[in-house]
Structure 1
Amino acid sequence: MGNEKQKISALIELNDELENYFQNTIIPQLFVDADFVLRKFTPPAMKQFRLRPDDIGRPLAEIKDNFRFPSILENIQHVIETGEILEKEIQTTDMSWFQMNIIPYVMIREKKTNGVIITFVDITSRIRELKDQESLILEHELLLDTISHDIKTPLTSLGLTIEMLKKIPEKGMDKFPVLLEKVENSLFKIKDIIMDLTESRRSDQHYQARAELLDVEQILEDVRLTLAPQILESTAKISWEVQQSELFFVRRKLRSILYNLIGNSIKYRYNGRIPEIKIKTYVDEDYTVFTITDNGRGIAEWDQEKIFTKYERISRDVEGTGVGLHLVKEFVYLSGGRIEVESKLGKGTQFKLYFKNHNH
């Protein structure tokens, strides 16, 4: 009789210790038995998952929606059947992240799993920090790609202008001041790019270009001036119809997008055909749409996805790095937009860019 009392006393003491542990731990924890009945939970679990004292003794299936994690019952079943500890990162329907550990509760004497203890550690802030770091790395990669690509722009213009200068006969020196101005503009452009990079490095904050309300025609005119040597050399005709004159976007990025697309229309012109490039802007529901249409070589249907892949080039007879259209896609998609391409070989290409309209 004395031994029986000692056993009962020991069980009460163990139960008190377990109860004390569950009441004082700062981590959301659940104890679910082998029949999937909720037996205990910690106060943080009550707060996090909106549990009530009368949920104790209820089948977990009746309150599984509280945990906002659809496969929790299947995960518990797996641990009970295998006796293995399950560790996984989960995202609940309220967009929170947890490190979830499901540990088998083993009855040592019977060597039987009699339930599980589930621990939830909130890792939402850590996941957000990782995502911020990934975004920062991507932003810096794009910055480096943009700077290297943008420096090539005035260098190419500079090279073309110098070639023109070499071909000027002595009697044609009246063109010299105009060409000299283009050389000077190219040098100023290189200087501006380097200054932008220097300022971003000096800043205590991470490099982050800011969106602003842009005058579309002003940006197009800026791009036209930047491409002046290529336009002159190819005798390209560029026209635009601006129905939507303003766009809230990053100036450098929009300029780079238009420079790449218009520049490519000149670069990949059809042999013996004067390049004709038409730009149009308009509003389509929640988007400002830009269309850039040319009469160039066109792109084969099987190559139309490849053109946006970094370093991928489908034509080797003209100079290029395979970075320009990759940057165009990244800039548009990261802002919540999209790109569509329609093209026929020998006829020309149309790029249709959808820029999400944001409140500012």
Structure 2
Amino acid sequence: MQSQNQQINALIELNDELENYFRNTIIPQLFVDANLILRKFTPPAMKQFKLHPHDIGKSIMDIKDNFRFPTIIENIEHVIKTGELLEKEIQTTDMRWYQMNILPYLVQKGNQNNGVIITFVDITLRIHDLKEQEKLIMEHELLLDTISHDIKTPLTSLTLTIEMLKKTPEKGMVKFPALLEKIENGLHKIKGIVTELTDSRKTDQNYKSVEELLDIEQILEDVRLTLAPQILESNASICWDITHSEVLFVRRKLRSVLYNLISNSIKYRDQQRRPEILIRTFTEDDFFVISVADNGRGINKEDTDKIFTKYERISRDVEGTGVGLHLVREIVNLSGGKIVVDSTPGNGTTFKIYIKNHQ
């Protein structure tokens, strides 16, 4: 009898601990049993999904509209059936983003699946911040590129012209040396402004180009979150096979490279099939190689060089600015690497990014 009482007291203690946990956690969580009955939920879940105490004991089917996510029942049933953990980003009808984790609730006796625990982590702000970062990166890189190419090139030409004028006979032009001096002074001022602007942007704390040892999977996770709306809308499958995970590079630049390549794989998908994107890493000679392969439209051989030209757009039925791949090539080339394209129209495209391996 005493042993039975001890067991009952132990169960009461465990239940109290579970109740305290559910009352005090700041994360929206639900416990749904194997019969799809809602058994418990945390106060944040009550607030976020407008649940009420009388909803406990109801079938999740009866309150699925509270969650504003259409496939939640299918996801729960999948985890109950397979016993596999499910992790995915979801967007609810109120336009918020969540990292939803559905874990099987296993009973120790018989190791049976007795339901699921569902956790919702609000990642709306993180996705927004990542998108803003990507926008800033694009603007910053384009500014530097514009200064380097669109301004410095004509300035160099003007410098050469002045040098030629210096060697030209004056032919009685008294004011010629004075005019030439003014042009030269103005040229030096313009160069100074360009140099100052470029250097100030490069050394700005928010854009500091500092190489660091990066985990490629963390970068891919950031890119995946940034592209979550496009992935959801296109039902794209993104997988990676990472045999080498660490590379020395500038974080924002590597993220921008992968963002543009994966974004293009989704945008230029074949409408007749689900987009499938595979990212692989490996080493080749002295290079760390990142391969991004898709099953999209593909690129004609005569267009493979054009795609890297700034503002050049091969397909006009897809929104874009024509600067993404140009930016990718600039980043890779300036780092001492290279980019290789292998594509078959109708079958897909593989971009290989070769980064100098400094390790």
TM-score, normalised via structure 2 length: 0.50
TM-score, normalised via structure 1 length: 0.50
